[in-house]
Amino acid sequence: MAVRVVVGTQWGDEGKGKYIDILAKDSDIVVRFSGGSNAGHTIVHNNICHKLHLVPSGILHPGKICIIGNGVVVDPEILIEEIKNLKRNGVNAENLLISDRAHIVMPYHKALDELQEKFRGTKSLGTTKRGIGPAYSDKAERSGIRICDLLKHDIFEKKVRDNLAVKNMIIEKVYGGKGFNAEEMIAQYRSYADTLKKYVTDVNAYLFRAIEQNKNILFEGAQATFLDLDFGTYPYVTSSNPIAGGVCTGAGIGPTYIDEVYGVLKAYTSRVGSGPFPTEQKNETGDMIRELGHEYGTTTGRPRRCGWLDMVMIRYSAMINGLTALAINHVDTIGKLERIKLCKTYEIGGKEVSRIPADIEELALCKPVYEEFEGWGDISHIRQYKDLPDNAKVYLSRIQELAGVEIKMIGVGSSREQTITVR
């Protein structure tokens, strides 16, 4: 049996979906444990580009069980649409299981996400407006509605009415927005319940049995370490714990069951939304990386901010997640530049710093100290490590050395096949 976890080491969109799809081949079960439809995981297979937000990225392998764990906030409307889309692309999602303990995203969460962002004005967080923050707030505040409630009409109806009494007041009186009609919402969610009920189960009991039966389980991280509510660049973070530790609370797995933790990174850095980004290139280099890497958000279509790879961040991620391996993507993209910079440490007020400060004002003052490398041209056709150009090998071995973690997989393109496994 192997229990493996895949997490993002930067600000998301590192290409986690692609590696989940690859690792799912020798897994029995693939589990999402945090986040919601704010995630956008791209998998390119047989020339079809699948964009998944809630369904685990193992779904493209027939027969694999795909689980949405209790730590996920589920937007039923988006989930049902996604299942339909998969079907249209010839993918059967009947092996999907949804935890009865997962919280659901309600229309008032999405409205509040939008209104709160508007209210923040120039200080907006740049959220995906998918209702994620408000849904996790309600979970912590104990007014959240769970999947198990959705399936019990009378309980669901009462919870919606109780919540709307307060939410409508906040939406209308505080933000000047338009409140919701309880009857319409109840009817709409009743139809969602009818569609989704066949997928709902006690996922934790299912996973306990799977562990006892020595199944191979793969946990799919969404978001990333620097978007983590506790360890990211707070408040410019998401509202969950996407780090490896999130598996324990988001799927009900004890830490001693985890065997391997893969940290996915890009050979550069990207970020969507606001917040500090020490190696950001707000110049032609950043524009070039964005165009070469097609860096536009999977969920919102926003152009991603781009910059050099920051090894202070990766070392921090290695520690926070207990990484046992690195999986690096877009080595093809960055190699197309003539000169490449890699941030080794930071400098503040003449002092060298190699840690991530809690205070984001301080992080914004950190000046990257760079090492320089030469590019290596097109490598998208290469499938074996030994065939990589020397310049690429030099860059990769320096990353490995600075991270203190071995690189096990190298991405040279977006498809499953464009991956080099390092033996």
Q: How far apart are alpha carbons 161 and 150 in whole angstroms?
A: 13
- Binding letters toward ligand IMO, positions 240-279, x by CB under 6 A: --------------------------------xx------
Of ligand GDP, Mg ion, ligand IMO, none, which one sits near residue 333, judging by CB under 5 to 8 A according to partner kind? ligand GDP
Q: How far is the CB of 278 from ligand IMO (least distance, A)?
A: 16
Alpha helices in 233-310 (DSSP H): 246-251, 284-293
Pair of tokens at residue 30: 């693939």
Q: Binder to ligand IMO among 45, 100, 126, 287 (CB under 6 A)?
A: 126
**Cα 144 to Cα 364: distance, rounded to the nearest angstrom:** 35
Residue 12 binds ligand IMO (CB under 6 A) = yes
Asked whether position 304 contacts ligand GDP by CB under 6 A, the answer is no
User: d(Cα 377, Cα 387) in Å, to the nearest integer?
Assistant: 13
Backbone φ, ψ for residue 52 (5° rounding): -105, 140
13 lines the binding site for ligand GDP (CB under 6 A): yes
Span of 240-248, 298-306, 318-326, 340-348 interacting with Mg ion by CB under 5 A: 298-306
Q: Which stretch binds Mg ion (CB under 5 A): 40-48, 142-150, 194-202, 280-288?
A: 40-48
Q: Which is nearer to ligand GDP, 15 or 276 (CB)?
A: 15
Bridging pattern class, strands 3-8 and 217-220: parallel
Does 13 bind ligand IMO (CB under 6 A)? Our answer is: yes
**165 in Cβ contact with 159 (< 8 Å):** no
Residue of the chain from 298, 317, 321, 345 that contacts ligand GDP (CB under 6 A): 298
Applying CB under 5 A, does 223 fall inside the site for Mg ion? no
CB atoms within 10 A of CB 267: 24
Task: Give the pairing of strands 269-271 and 305-307.
Answer: antiparallel
- The answer to whether the CB of 7 falls within 8 A of the CB of 263 is yes
CA-nearest of 411, 4, 1 to 221 is 4
* Best CA proximity match to 311, nearest among 209, 395, 195, 193: 395
Closest by Cα among 398, 397, 399, 408 to 260: 408
Residue type, 159: K
Q: For ligand GDP, which stretch binds (CB under 6 A), given 110-118, 239-247, 388-396, 412-420?
A: 412-420
Please work out the total of residues on this chain that contact Mg ion, with binding judged by CB under 5 A. Answer: 3
Q: What own/partner pairs with CB < 8 Å and gap ≥ 24 does 112-120 have?
A: 112/167, 112/170, 112/171, 112/175, 115/171, 115/175, 115/177, 116/175, 118/175, 119/175
Residue selected from 9, 95, 99, 128 as contacting ligand IMO according to rule CB under 6 A:
128
In this chain, which stretch among 33-41, 62-70, 346-354, 388-396 interacts with ligand IMO, using CB under 6 A? 33-41
Q: Which residues are catalytic?
A: 13, 41
Nearer to ligand IMO, 15 or 345 (CB): 15
Q: Which is nearer to ligand GDP, 158 or 383 (CB)?
A: 383
Phi/psi class of residue 176: alpha, beta or left (left: φ > 0; alpha: ψ in -120 to 50)? left
Look at the alpha carbons of 170, 173, 177, 182 in this order and tell me if their dihedral is positive or negative: positive
159 is written with which tokens? 């919870």
333 binds Mg ion (CB under 5 A): no
Interaction between residue 293 and Mg ion (CB under 5 A): no
Nearer to ligand GDP, 38 or 168 (CB): 38
**Which residue in the set 35, 36, 40, 413 belongs to the binding site for Mg ion (CB under 5 A)?**
40
Q: x-or-dash pattern for Mg ion, window 13-32, by CB under 5 A?
A: x-------------------
Residue 298 binding Mg ion, by CB under 5 A: yes
Q: Is 125 in the site for ligand IMO (CB under 6 A)?
A: yes
Q: Which residues bind ligand GDP (CB under 6 A)?
A: 8, 12-18, 40-42, 44, 294, 298, 329-330, 332-333, 411-414
Give me the residues that bind ligand IMO (CB under 6 A), please.
8, 11-13, 38-41, 125-128, 130, 132-133, 222-224, 227, 238-239, 272-273, 298
